[in-house]
Amino acid sequence: MEPGDSAILTHLRRGALEHCVLALLDGEPRYGLDIARRLGDDGVLLAGEGTLYPLLARLRKQGLVETTWAESTAGPPRRYYSLTAAGRIALASFQRTWTTFRDAVDATLSGGQQ
């Protein structure tokens, strides 16, 4: 990645990253560290693991995600995040549109759609 790429990446993440988080919660509830690890530490999806938490707070405020507490054997109770019905709908909508969008961008970047 080159220096100017991070600004572009910030823009690209908007809209896509939150749906990636929703996708990770599709199968089962997860806690914060787990989500951060699965999003990878290469700086592509998450610009630092810390940025995950404002995002999760936003998703919860929007009603797409809800939290529950679960006892943990290794220390204090942990906060688990899970999808709400609205979150599931948002994720499904994104999954429908993403591949179309991604393919269209790829095609355009490699010479335009014929």
Partner 1 sequence: MNSSDNRVATYLDDLARMLSDIDPGERDEVLAGIREHLDAEIGSSDGGDAAVQAALLRLGPPERVAAEARAGHPAGPGAATAVARVTHPTRTRVATAVALALVVWLALWILVTRLAMLPLLYGGSGNEGVEALLPHPSEILLMVPLSPVWLVPLALVLLAPEVSGRPKIWLALSGPAVFVVGLVAGVWFDPLAVTTAVVVIGTLGVLGLAVAIARRVWRETSA
Q: How far is the CB of 104 from partner 1 (least distance, A)?
A: 26
Q: How far apart are CA 1 and CA 74, in angstroms?
A: 38
Number of residues in contact with partner 1 under rule CB under 8 A: 24
Per CB under 8 A, the segment of 50-58, 82-90, 92-100, 101-109 that binds partner 1 is 50-58
Which residue in the set 3, 27, 50, 111 belongs to the binding site for partner 1 (CB under 8 A)?
A: 50
What phi and psi values does residue 83 have, to the nearest 5 degrees?
-75, 140
Would you say 78 or 88 has its CB closer to partner 1? 78
Q: Are 45 and 39 in contact (CB under 8 A)?
A: yes
Q: Which helix (H) or strand (E) holds 113?
A: none
Minimum Å gap between C-beta 48 and partner 1 is 2
- Name the segment binding partner 1 (CB under 8 A); options: 19-27, 32-40, 83-91, 99-107: 32-40
Provide the minimum distance between the beta carbon of 112 and partner 1 in the complex, in angstroms, as a whole number.
33
Q: Is the distance from CB of 31 to CB of 49 less than 8 angstroms?
A: no
DSSP code per residue over 5-30: HHHHHHHHHHHHHHHHHHHHTSSS-E
**Residues at the contact surface with partner 1, assessed by CB under 8 A:** 31-33, 36, 41, 47-58, 60-61, 74-76, 78-79
